[in-house]
Amino acid sequence: MRDVSLTVNGVRHELELEPRELLVYVLRERLGLTGTVVGCDTSSCGACTVLLDGESVKSCTVLGVQADGHEITTVEGLARDGELHPLQQSFHEHHALQCGYCTSGMLLAAASLLAENPSPSEAEIRQALEGNLCRCTGYQNIVDAIQAVAS
């Protein structure tokens, strides 16, 4: 067991973690943040994507102990003061989700992309989402939703 301090969506948590616990399970099962989900065991799908110090990471490939001292943003931390994040609003308006299982990962991957590149082309968006799979939408509306938010 190791003492770990994580700041998740602006809230600080002091935890005792087993070295093998993956960040995604720390979020889901220790902190009850079930918006981050698991879609695979080969770091292929991106369903578990969160922001670690502002950059997107697959939380199934990060150990909880590795996140010690870092800031994490999950889907639960995107909306502010009852207002949806612009990406959330745009996903809604563009019908960029069907079952919604990939959605939290997509939103955070998109947030990370736009932070790096505020006006990506369609091709750049598609490339940036390569690690995030969606089986429902065929991606088109996701791409459109992100492009609509890009400046």
Partner 1 sequence: MSAQTEVALGRIIGAPVQRKEDGKLLQGQALWVDDMHVPGTVYLGVVRSPYAHARIVEVDVAPALAHAGVVAAWSGADLAEEWAGSLPCAWLPTEDTRAPEHKPLAVDKARYAGDAVAVVAATSRAAAEDAAELVEVEYEPLPAVVDPEAALADGAPLVHDELGTNRCYTWSLEAGEVDRLFAEAAVTVSQRYRQNRLVPNAMEPRAVFVQTVPATGEYTIWSTTQVPHILRLTLSGVLGIPEAKLRVVAPDVGGGFGSKLDVYAEEALALAVARRLGRPVRWTETRSEGYLSTIHGRDQIQEIELAATAEGRITAVRVRLLASMGAYLQLVTPGIPLLGARLYAGAYDVQGYSFRCDGVFTNTVPTDAYRGAGRPEATYAIERAVDALARAVGKDPVEIRRLNFIREFPATIASGLTIDSGDYEALLDRLLEHVDLPAFRGRQEARREAGDPKRLGIGFSTYVEMCGLAPSRILGASRYGAGGWDTATIRCLPTGTVQVVTGTSPHGQGHETAWAQIVADRLGYELDEIEVLHGDTAVAPLGMDTYGSRSLAVGGVALYYAAERIVEKARTLAAYRLGVDESEIEYVRGRFAGPDGSLTLKELALSAWTAHDLPEGMEPGLEASYVYDPPNFSWPAGAHAAIVEVDTETGAVELERYVAVDDVGVVVNPTIVDGQVHGGLAQGVAQALYEEAVYDDAGNLLTANMATYLVPSAAELPRFELDRLETPSPTNPLGVKGVGETGAIAAPAAVMNAIADALAADGVTDLDMPATPERVWRALREARR
- The correct pick among 42, 80, 81, 151 for binding partner 1 (CB under 8 A) is 42
Type of residue numbered 115: A
Q: From the CB of 37, what's the least distance to partner 1, in Å?
A: 7
- Strands in 18-138 per DSSP E: 49-52, 55-58, 71-73
Return the closest-CA partner of residue 135 out of 112, 92, 94, 105.
105
Instruction: Tell me the angle at which helices 140-149 and 86-93 cross, rounded to the nearest 10 degrees.
Output: 140
The bridge status of strand 2-8 relative to strand 71-73 is: parallel
Q: From the CB of 71, what's the least distance to ligand FES, in Å?
A: 19
- Interface segment toward partner 1; rule CB under 8 A; list 51-59, 62-70, 103-111, 113-121: 103-111
- The correct pick among 15, 31, 97, 128 for binding ligand FES (CB under 6 A) is 97
SS3 36: coil
Q: From the CB of 129, what's the least distance to partner 1, in Å?
A: 4
For residue 133, give the DSSP letter: -
Residue 125's binding partner out of ligand FES, partner 1, none, with CB under 5 to 8 Å set by partner kind = partner 1
- Tell me how far apart the alpha carbons of residues 73 and 94 are, in angstroms, rounded to a whole number: 24
- The correct pick among 88, 112, 114, 120 for binding partner 1 (CB under 8 A) is 88
Which of 3, 89 has the CB closer to ligand FES?
Answer: 89
Q: Contact between 147 and ligand FES (CB under 6 A)?
A: no
Q: Contact between 27 and ligand FES (CB under 6 A)?
A: no
Residue for token digits 């369609």? 122
Q: Which residues bind ligand FES (CB under 6 A)?
A: 38-40, 43-48, 58, 60, 97-102, 134-137
